[in-house]
Amino acid sequence: LAGTVPEEPRCTVERADASLTYSLFLQRFAFSQPVILGGVTDNSAFRALCTREKLLAAFGPFPVRLSTANTYSYRKVDVRFQEYVEHLLKPQDPARLGSDTLYFFGDNNFTEWGPLFQHYVPPPFRIPGTSPAYSFGIAGSGSGVPFHWHGPGFSEVIFGRKRWFLYPPDKTPHFHPNETTLAWLQHTYPTLPRAQRPLECTLRPGEVSPGAGGDPQASQPEPWDPPCCLLQILYFPDHWWHATLNLDTSVFISTFLG
């Protein structure tokens, strides 16, 4: 039960759907506030390639580079992808620091992972003067990266659920860079006055696609369960503080705009 954490009772990040135009995205969100985009892409084909079985078959023997799950991550560990999935992909130990927790995200060898990324449909919007770079990852329940910031980007959850916490650039959150997001949620978050709490939301595979079957109101499927979904995309602007917490074993991809 180490990684069993609840969703927040409500999402405080603004939402938009496929009717959002590029000009309105630039005007309202690109440089000012996060937004969750729903139904703007259909990555069902990409998702079908990201099941546990198919990823192990395609990439099991290849090495992957793991980082520590802390704000300033310098330590890198190389292991075979199969070893990571079968032996290291576990719920977060609440007693361990982020600097002692290994996390697979972002250090992708594009020669090996490129054929998978070719099937990914990227978010439809761009920031003028930037180019996209993909970061793909898989992590256990209760894991995540504590507060940090960088340039703007998009993030999608392919399987599982990921809880996000966001603060604007001028509002530095109170956190320790080596404390896990799970520990921060347990110890610091409950002490915050409501006015000092971050924007937050749980990102998940979205509504069930037409013809996929199933009940959208049914209980959350097990991680790496393959029904088709229209995925939700979170956009965060430049320099926004954010921390993440995987509520399940999660497969996710970000598009960083550099």
Report whether pLDDT(208) > 50: no
What is the rounded average pLDDT for all residues in the chain? 88
pLDDT at 205: 80
8 part of a folded domain:
no
Residue linked to tokens 């990266």: 145
The pLDDT score that the predictor gives to residue 229 is 52
Instruction: Evaluate if residue 221 carries a pLDDT over 80.
Output: no
CATH code at position 156: 2.60.120.650
Contact of 234 with 33, CB cutoff 8 Å: no
Residue 213 is assigned to a structural domain of this protein: no
Q: Give the residue from 254, 245, 247 showing the smallest Cα distance to 223.
A: 247
Interval 237-254: pLDDT, tens:
999 999 999 999 999 999
Amino acid present at 186: Q
Q: Determine, yes or no, domain membership for 181.
A: yes
Q: Percent of the chain, pLDDT > 90?
A: 81
Does any domain span residue 130?
A: yes
Distance CA 20, CA 37 (A): 9
Q: Tell me, what's the pLDDT at 1?
A: 41
Please tell me the pTM assigned to this model: 0.89
Within a domain: residue 38?
Answer: yes
SS3 assignment for the chain:
CCCCCCCCCCCCCCEECCCCCHHHHHHHCCCCCCEEEECCCCCHHHHHCCCHHHHHHHHCCCEEEEEECCCCCCCEEEEEHHHHHHHHCCCCCCCCCHHHCEEEECCCCHHHHHHHHCCCCCCCCCCCCCCEEEEEEEECCCCCCCCECCCCEEEEEEECCEEEEEECCCCCCCCCCCCCHHHHHHHCHHHCCHHHCCEEEEECEEEECCCCCCCCCCCCCCCCCCCCEEEEEEEECCCCEEEEEECCCEEEEEEEEC
Say which amino acid occupies 50.
Answer: C
- Looking at the predicted structure, is the pLDDT value of residue 12 above 90? yes
Confidence of residue 220 (pLDDT cuts 50, 70, 90): very low
Q: What is the pLDDT of residue 211?
A: 33
Residue type for 128, please? P
Amino acid at 94: P
Q: Is the pLDDT of residue 216 over 70?
A: no
| Residue-range definition of the domain harbouring residue 201 | 16-208+229-257
Q: Map tokens 């000092």 to a residue.
A: 196
Asked if residue 154 is part of any domain, the answer here is: yes
Please, what is the Cα angle at 244 between 243 and 246, to 5 degrees? 165
Domain tally, the chain: 1
The pLDDT value recorded for residue 111 is 87
Q: What is the DSSP pairing of strand 35-38 with strand 15-16?
A: parallel
Residue 144 has pLDDT above 80, yes or no: yes
pLDDT in tens, 109-126: 888 999 999 999 999 999
Highest-pLDDT range among 105-109, 173-177, 200-204, 227-231: 173-177
pLDDT one-digit tens code per residue, 24-73: 999 999 999 999 999 999 999 999 999 999 999 999 999 999 999 999 98
Encoded tokens for 235: 């956009």
Q: How far are the Cα atoms of 7, 161, 253 from residue 64, in angstroms, in the given order?
A: 30, 23, 15
Summarised one tens digit per residue, pLDDT across range 64-107 is: 999 999 999 889 999 999 999 999 999 999 999 999 999 999 89
135 pairs with which residues across the strands? 254
- On whether residue 203 sits in a domain, the answer given is yes
pLDDT of 83 reads 97
Q: Assess if residue 218 is contained within a domain.
A: no
